[in-house]
Amino acid sequence: MASGTQPPLIAVVGPTGVGKTRVAISLCQEVGGEIISADSRQIFKYMDIGTDKPSVEDRRLVRHHLIDVVAPDEEFTLAQYQERAYQAIGDVLSRDKVPFLVGGTGLYVRAVLEGFVIPRVKPDLQLRQQLLTEAERDGGRALHARLGEVDPQAAEKIDPHNVRRVIRALEVYEQLKIPISQLQRRKSPPYRILKIGLTMERTELYRRIDDRVDSMMQRGLLSEVQDLASRRYDYDLPAMSGLGYRQIGAHLRGEVDLSTAVLKIKTETHRFVRQQYKWFRADDETIHWFDVDTGPQERMKALILEFLAVAE
């Protein structure tokens, strides 16, 4: 690498179910890369099927970082993720490998690529429980409307269904009396960044998601949630609010039958995909978009090799 040239970082982004991990593993094998996960659910131990973690075989083929980081009842903040991601990127580069940031959690991806300067506000567990109780009583949208009154910029960016993020934004405001949107400054990270976006026709993507949910059930998602409950991980934990776990948890509590729970996983994942496309926009000129149904592997490889050649 030429003196003074910033080291490379390649991001592979896109919606759930589009095949990011499979593509990233193949590209890593081509150029000597390692994967830093940008998935806010795969950080949790014991949650393998519902988060669709890479298989043991895949992790043997290509080294993965930031998977199985904490137990489901442990706090893991965006600031902690960002710090660990930068450490992992540094470790990969120190061994002359190429770091690939891969995942669909938009906030994680942008925190790393855009260098968010994240406010260090300690969790207020009492306030969180109070806000969670309000959300359960009045609905998540009521809590989101409250955020809109004190921080409309943050409310515009946060999905009303993401109660955990709404609560965090309100928590920051209540402690500092400053909107979180005013605190989230940016400091460009010291990398040359290439963003690769994967997409596909929406109807086909929904079909693949539905097939994946059926596969998760066949592989034992129900047993996985039962095992988490037997380990005394409460259904109210943030980790257990993820897609699949929340719906199966409702079934295990007797609130819905299993077929209804599975249907809800599918429909809620479709909704989540629509939200992801707000993080990774088709008109974002910084992202090189590829339709996975057109067989773009060679074109992606050529783009990456050209990008990496600049640093040689």
Lowest-pLDDT range, 8-17, 161-170, 173-182, 294-303? 173-182
Q: Could you give the C-alpha distances from 62 to 35, 57, 304, in angstroms and in order? A: 7, 9, 17
Q: CB burial class (10 A; 0-12, 13-18, 19+) of residue 245?
A: buried
Confidence of residue 3 (pLDDT cuts 50, 70, 90): very low
* Residue 139: predicted pLDDT: 87
Give the angle subtended at the CA of 147 by the CAs of 142 and 153, to the nearest 5°.
130
User: Both tokens of residue 48?
Assistant: 């393998």
* Residue 172: predicted pLDDT: 82
Q: Let me know: does 68 contact 135? Beta carbons within 8 Å.
A: no
Q: Let me know: does 82 contact 24? Beta carbons within 8 Å.
A: no
Lowest-pLDDT range, 57-61, 114-118, 219-223? 114-118
Confidence of residue 199 (pLDDT cuts 50, 70, 90): very high
Q: Which fold has domain 8-118+186-309?
A: Rossmann fold (3.40.50)
pLDDT tens digit sequence for 238-272: 899 999 999 999 999 999 999 999 999 999 999 99
Q: At residue 6, what are phi and psi to the nearest 5 degrees?
A: -70, 145
Question: Residues 279-302: what's their mean pLDDT?
Answer: 93
SS3 of 76, please? coil
pLDDT tens digit sequence for 143-154: 999 899 988 988
* Residue 311: predicted pLDDT: 58
User: Both tokens of residue 107?
Assistant: 């906030």
What's the one-letter identity of residue 75? E
Cα distance between residue 56 and residue 192, in whole Å: 30
Q: What is the residue-averaged pLDDT of the chain?
A: 92
This prediction has a pTM of 0.83
* Residue 1: predicted pLDDT: 42
Give 185 or 265, the one with higher predicted confidence: 265
State the alpha helices, DSSP H only, in 158-282: 163-176, 180-183, 202-219, 221-230, 245-252, 258-279
Domain ranges of the chain: 8-118+186-309, 125-183
Cα distance between residue 122 and residue 170, in whole Å: 13
The CATH-assigned architecture of domain 125-183 is Orthogonal Bundle (1.10)
Q: Scan for tokens 């890369």, then name that residue.
A: 33
